[in-house]
């Protein structure tokens, strides 16, 4: 198969391969025209060379094409209309390759690893532009989806807050509306991260709702926080304010027809 055992750049010893990393040393690079389905290969030279057709000097780091034993500059190889796309963006590379009528793989020999490594591809400029546009459109679509997800989440949260507040109103009709909202919003924050209807439903159990309300009352309607700030042990502080908390909850449990501050007889 390999007619070209000679004529490769001095460092040459291995081949192409479509993987993004190059190249096993067992198959030398094709020097002639690419066969169907096989990549055209262009070398990133490590040594100075000369184009065997036009005589142009090809310094280190220039690209050259091998035809048989001859090194050609890209102009003489009829590849100078292509543009270099460095490796690193797999989606861009894949799309640019797809849209380009002609494509060449750029290989450079790694002296340390003793193998050819793929540096990127040469493709038509228009193919790169089209690929870039597609990648951008994808990014836009992703951003739009994230926006939609966030909106759905916000809607779910709002629904949860509303139903939690409604549940407080059922169980503790005397609880002022503003406080119902505050308790419900806090419960939603605590819950955020969890999902699922059953979890939400469980949280609307009487016990769970009252627990949330008690915590709120403890902080807002008793001296609990002041006790904590003064260094009182948490369980001791809770014990100390428990009666106050119960009193507030009892008051709130009264039917909503009772006006705030109205006394039971
Ligand atoms: Zn030339």
Using the mean position of ligand 1's atoms as its centre, give its distance from the Cα of residue 112 in Å: 30
Instruction: State in Å: Cα 42 to ligand 1 middle.
Output: 14
Distance 117 CA to ligand 1 centre (A): 24
Cα-to-centroid distance, 72 and ligand 1 (Å): 5
Ligand 1 centre to CA of 57 (Å) is: 9
Q: What is the pLDDT of residue 37?
A: 59
What distance in angstroms lies between residue 104's CA and the mean position of ligand 1's atoms? 17
Examine the pLDDT at 135 and tell me if it is beyond 90.
yes
The answer to whether residue 28 scores a pLDDT higher than 70 is no
**CA dist 164 → 178, 195, 257 (Å):** 13, 15, 21
Q: Give the chain's mean pLDDT.
A: 82
Q: Which two tokens stand for residue 172?
A: 């503790």
Proportion of the chain above pLDDT 90, given as a percent: 57
pLDDT of residue 222: 94
User: For residue 22, how far is its CA from the centre of ligand 1 (angstroms)?
Assistant: 26
Does the pLDDT of residue 27 top 50, yes or no? Answer: no
Q: For the whole model, what pTM was predicted?
A: 0.51
Q: How confident is the model at residue 142 (pLDDT cuts 50, 70, 90)?
A: very high
Distance (Å) from CA 76 to ligand 1 centroid:
4
How many whole angstroms from 237 Cα to the centroid of ligand 1? 89
- What tokens were used for 188? 């939603």
Q: How far apart are CA 201 and CA 184, in angstroms?
A: 14
Q: Which two tokens stand for residue 132?
A: 């870039």
The residues near 103 (Cβ < 8 Å, ≥ 6 apart) are 39, 40, 82, 97, 121, 122, 123
Q: HSE of 198 in the Cβ direction (CA atoms, 13 Å)? A: 0
Measured in angstroms, how far is the CA atom of residue 174 from the centroid of ligand 1? Answer: 91
- Is the per-residue pLDDT at 12 higher than 50? no
Distance between Cα 201 and ligand 1 center (Å):
76
Buried b (16+ CB within 10 A) or exposed e, 200-230: beebbeeeebbebbbbbbbeebbebeebeee
Distance 41 CA to ligand 1 centre (A): 16
């Amino acid at each position: 198969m390999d007619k070209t055992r000679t004529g490769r750049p001095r460092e040459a010893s291995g081949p192409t391969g479509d993987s993004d990393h190059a190249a096993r040393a067992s198959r030398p690079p094709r020097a002639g025209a690419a066969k169907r389905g096989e990549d055209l290969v262009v070398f990133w030279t490590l040594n100075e060379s000369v184009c065997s057709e036009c005589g142009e000097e090809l310094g280190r780091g220039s690209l050259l094409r091998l035809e048989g034993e001859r090194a050609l500059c890209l102009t003489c190889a009829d590849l100078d209309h292509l543009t270099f796309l460095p490796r690193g963006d797999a989606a861009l590379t894949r799309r640019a390759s797809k849209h380009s009528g002609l494509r060449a793989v750029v290989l450079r020999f790694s002296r340390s690893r003793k193998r050819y490594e793929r540096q990127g591809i040469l493709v038509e400029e228009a193919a790169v532009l089209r690929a870039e546009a597609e990648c951008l459109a994808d990014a836009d679509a992703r951003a739009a989806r994230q926006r939609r997800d966030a909106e759905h989440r916000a809607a779910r949260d709002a629904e949860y807050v509303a139903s939690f507040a409604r549940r407080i109103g059922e169980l503790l009709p005397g609880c002022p509306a503003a406080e119902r909202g505050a308790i419900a919003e806090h419960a939603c924050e605590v819950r955020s991260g969890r999902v699922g209807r059953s979890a939400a439903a469980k949280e609307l159990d009487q016990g769970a709702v009252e627990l949330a309300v008690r915590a709120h009352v403890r902080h807002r309607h008793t001296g609990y926080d002041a006790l904590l700030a003064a260094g009182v042990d948490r369980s001791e502080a809770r014990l100390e304010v428990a009666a106050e908390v119960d009193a507030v909850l009892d008051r709130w449990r009264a039917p909503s027809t009772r006006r705030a501050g109205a006394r039971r007889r």
